[in-house]
Amino acid sequence: MAALWRVHTPQGERLARGPAASGPKELLAPDLGVDDLLRGEASLAGLDELPAHGTLTSDASVLAPLGGQDVWAAGVTYLRSRDARLEESDQLDAYDRVYDAERPEIFFKAAADRVRGPGEPVGVRSDSEWDVPEPELGVVADATGSIVAYVIGNDVSSRSIEGENPLYLPQAKVYTGSCAIGPCLVPLAEAPPWYELEISLRVNRDGRAVFDDTVQVRELKRSPQELVSWLFAGMDFPVGVVLLTGTAIVPPSGFTLSPGDEVRIAIHGLGALENPVEQVGTTRERVRP
Ligand code: DO4
Ligand code: MG
């Protein structure tokens, strides 16, 4: 059951292969990158057949399993998410309509080089009062628009900024540390079908769980392939792309992430993604019109 890992070794960055549950074991060719496997020349489906180029030493650390893949995200794809947006916003209509509409909500989330990997901090904005992790199934599409792997993603978001006005969505969703991906890419053939996956979230504060919840991905309103086909309807992705498929876990309204919290997202078969939380941006005086 091999998954694709990206690791930092004393000799530099390398791809590696190993089970999602127990980590990278074998290094792959030094000149092989994630882009090569998603561009269509070599394929992630043949991961098990790629020649090994050494074993991993204990001083290797795990990186976000991406090359040049940007991250996009779909929203309001679960009933729970639609209800949460209706609660936080007085622009009721937009969220109700997009849940039922033919065209899904899809937004740009993070440029490839801004994605945080396992163990790296995710951010809460200095000008936001209400922040949440959004644990999501990420699907990895190759250059042809076929889903070739699954991965865990965190669409960290500001609910106070999003709730104030839907036009503030880019500020609520795209900022330093707002996206974490990892720990590895699990090829489709190695993963359970998406509708059998279960997503768990736990937030620890001072070593104690302050929030945890679990949801079933089968509650997703649209299939991952449908979401990907909308993404490719207007854009090409020569080295593939990651699409987060939306959240169904929304902590109660009294909950906000705080710097120092530890976020753990697990999906059986895809491993676990853990990130501490830090404050990002510079505090500014709030000037209201
Ligand atoms: O418009 C809000 C985005 C909602 C979202 O990110 C989600 O449902 O996961
Ligand atoms: Mg989301």
pLDDT in tens, the chain (289 residues): 699 999 999 889 999 999 999 999 999 999 999 999 999 767 898 999 999 998 888 889 999 999 999 999 999 999 988 888 787 776 668 888 899 999 999 999 999 999 999 999 999 999 999 999 999 999 999 999 999 999 999 999 999 999 999 899 999 999 999 999 999 999 999 999 999 999 999 999 999 999 999 999 999 999 999 999 999 999 999 999 999 999 999 999 999 999 999 999 999 999 999 999 999 999 776 666 5
Closest approach atom of ligand 1 to CA 98: 1
* Residue (of 73, 74, 99) closest to 86 by Cα position: 99
Domains of the chain: 3-62 (no CATH), 71-280 (3.90.850.10)
Q: Is 70 in the pocket of ligand 1 (CB under 6 A)?
A: no
Write down the pTM of the prediction. 0.96
- 44, 63, 137, 181 from 113: Cα distances, Å: 21, 11, 20, 12
Residue to mutate (ligand 1; options 155, 171, 249; most atoms within 8 A of CB): 155
CB atoms within 5 A of ion ligand 2 belong to 134, 155, 247
Ligand 2: centre distance to CA 76 (Å): 8
Q: Decide if 197 contacts 211 (C-beta within 8 A).
A: no
Nearest CA to ligand 1 atom 2: 75
Q: How far is the CA of 228 from the centre of ligand 1 (A)?
A: 16
Q: Is the CB of 154 under 6 A from ligand 1?
A: no
